[in-house]
């Protein structure tokens, strides 16, 4: 489908380039947007006397190509899912667009920690996986990071940090316990409604936050696609 769409776009460019090179554009367009009577517009819909395509024929071809291109564009999915294997941070996940990468410093329980982020935008929503690098794998350190992320997500939409237990799959088989959240509330100075879907999990010296922040509730199949693909190494 995408190759066909790109082919249509190239054809549109060729047709419009041919249109622009026709003799009719050697004349100056009048100020009101009409062509002067002596502009050389062919009277017939076929070839002009110079052997170049007539205006009507070119317009018909361009219109047909644009119509097909519009249909193919309409078929292009909003969610262009692809599998991302993050070997550095130890997870794999499906994202609905090409991700961008970021990193930020956090203060968690009085300790400085780094959080790497991969984010992708689609369907008026941001899909993200954040990985907090812990100084050790002690249970207390993991719990502090999980609480920090859980409370931060809830605070973003002025909601209570409610969460329930969920199992997070490992790529090699098996599962580890995590937390799942779904929150809705007002965010930012404009008090815009946002819905947050999130899973939090600690594994070794990493704590992960897989989250969707959406302007409106998403179709369940898109939410399931994201979370069911999230696996740890």
> Does position 27 have pLDDT exceeding 50, yes or no?
no
pTM of the model: 0.68
Radius of gyration of the chain (CA): 27
> Does position 173 have pLDDT exceeding 70, yes or no?
yes
| Angle value at C-alpha 148, between 146 and 150, nearest 5 degrees | 65
In contact, 132 and 227? CB cutoff 8 Å: no
Average pLDDT over residues 152-167: 96
> Does position 201 have pLDDT exceeding 50, yes or no?
yes
Percentage of the chain exceeding pLDDT 70: 67
Average pLDDT over residues 54-73: 44
Candidate from 28-32, 74-78, 183-187 with smallest mean pLDDT: 28-32
- What is the tens place of the pLDDT at every residue in 114-141? 999 999 999 899 999 999 999 999 999 9
> Does position 14 have pLDDT exceeding 90, yes or no?
no
What span, in angstroms and rounded, lies between the C-alpha atoms of 22 and 54?
8
Residue 15 confidence class, pLDDT cut points 50, 70, 90? very low
Tracing tokens 């509730």 back to the chain, one arrives at 217
pLDDT at 206: 98
Residue 229 confidence class, pLDDT cut points 50, 70, 90? very high
- What is the tens place of the pLDDT at every residue in 106-118? 999 999 999 999 9
Domain 82-232 has CATH 3.40.1000: yes
> Does position 20 have pLDDT exceeding 70, yes or no?
no
What span, in angstroms and rounded, lies between the C-alpha atoms of 121 and 215?
12
What span, in angstroms and rounded, lies between the C-alpha atoms of 214 and 1?
27
- Location of each CATH 3.40.1000 domain in the chain: 82-232
> Does position 205 have pLDDT exceeding 80, yes or no?
yes
| Angle value at C-alpha 203, between 197 and 208, nearest 5 degrees | 30
Count the Cβ atoms, other than its own, within 10 Å of residue 148.
19
What span, in angstroms and rounded, lies between the C-alpha atoms of 86 and 100?
12
In contact, 100 and 119? CB cutoff 8 Å: yes
Residue 19 confidence class, pLDDT cut points 50, 70, 90? very low
pLDDT at 77: 53
> Does position 68 have pLDDT exceeding 90, yes or no?
no
In contact, 178 and 167? CB cutoff 8 Å: yes
> Does position 51 have pLDDT exceeding 90, yes or no?
no
> Does position 54 have pLDDT exceeding 70, yes or no?
no
Q: What is the mean pLDDT of the chain?
A: 78
The more confident residue out of 180 and 123 is 180
What span, in angstroms and rounded, lies between the C-alpha atoms of 15 and 202?
57
In contact, 45 and 20? CB cutoff 8 Å: no
Instruction: Give the CA dihedral 223, 114, 108, 86, nearest 10 degrees.
Output: 30
Identify the burial level of 132 via C-beta atoms within 10 angstroms of its C-beta, where 0-12 means exposed, 13-18 middle and 19 or more buried.
buried
């Amino acid at each position: 489908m995408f190759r066909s769409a790109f082919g249509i776009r190239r054809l549109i460019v060729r047709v419009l380039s041919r249109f622009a090179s026709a003799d009719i554009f050697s004349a100056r367009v009048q100020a009101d947007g009409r062509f002067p009577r002596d502009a050389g517009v062919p009277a017939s819909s076929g070839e002009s006397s110079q052997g170049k395509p007539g205006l009507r024929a070119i317009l018909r071809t361009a219109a047909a190509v644009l119509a097909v291109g519009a249909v193919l564009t309409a078929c292009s999915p909003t969610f262009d899912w692809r599998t991302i294997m993050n070997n550095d941070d130890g997870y794999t996940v499906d994202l609905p667009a090409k991700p961008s990468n970021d990193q930020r410093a956090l203060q968690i329980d009085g300790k400085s920690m780094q959080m790497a982020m991969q984010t992708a935008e689609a369907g008026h929503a941001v899909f993200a996986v954040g990985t907090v690098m812990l100084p050790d794998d002690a249970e207390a350190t993991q719990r502090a990071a999980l609480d920090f992320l859980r409370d931060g997500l809830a605070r973003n939409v002025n909601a209570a940090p409610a969460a329930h237990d969920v199992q997070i799959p490992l790529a090699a088989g098996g599962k580890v316990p995590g937390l799942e959240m779904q929150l809705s509330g007002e965010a930012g100075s404009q008090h815009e409604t946002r819905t947050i879907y999130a899973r939090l999990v600690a594994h070794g010296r990493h704590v992960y936050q897989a989250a969707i922040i959406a302007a409106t509730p998403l179709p369940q199949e898109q939410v399931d696609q994201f979370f069911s693909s999230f696996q740890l190494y």
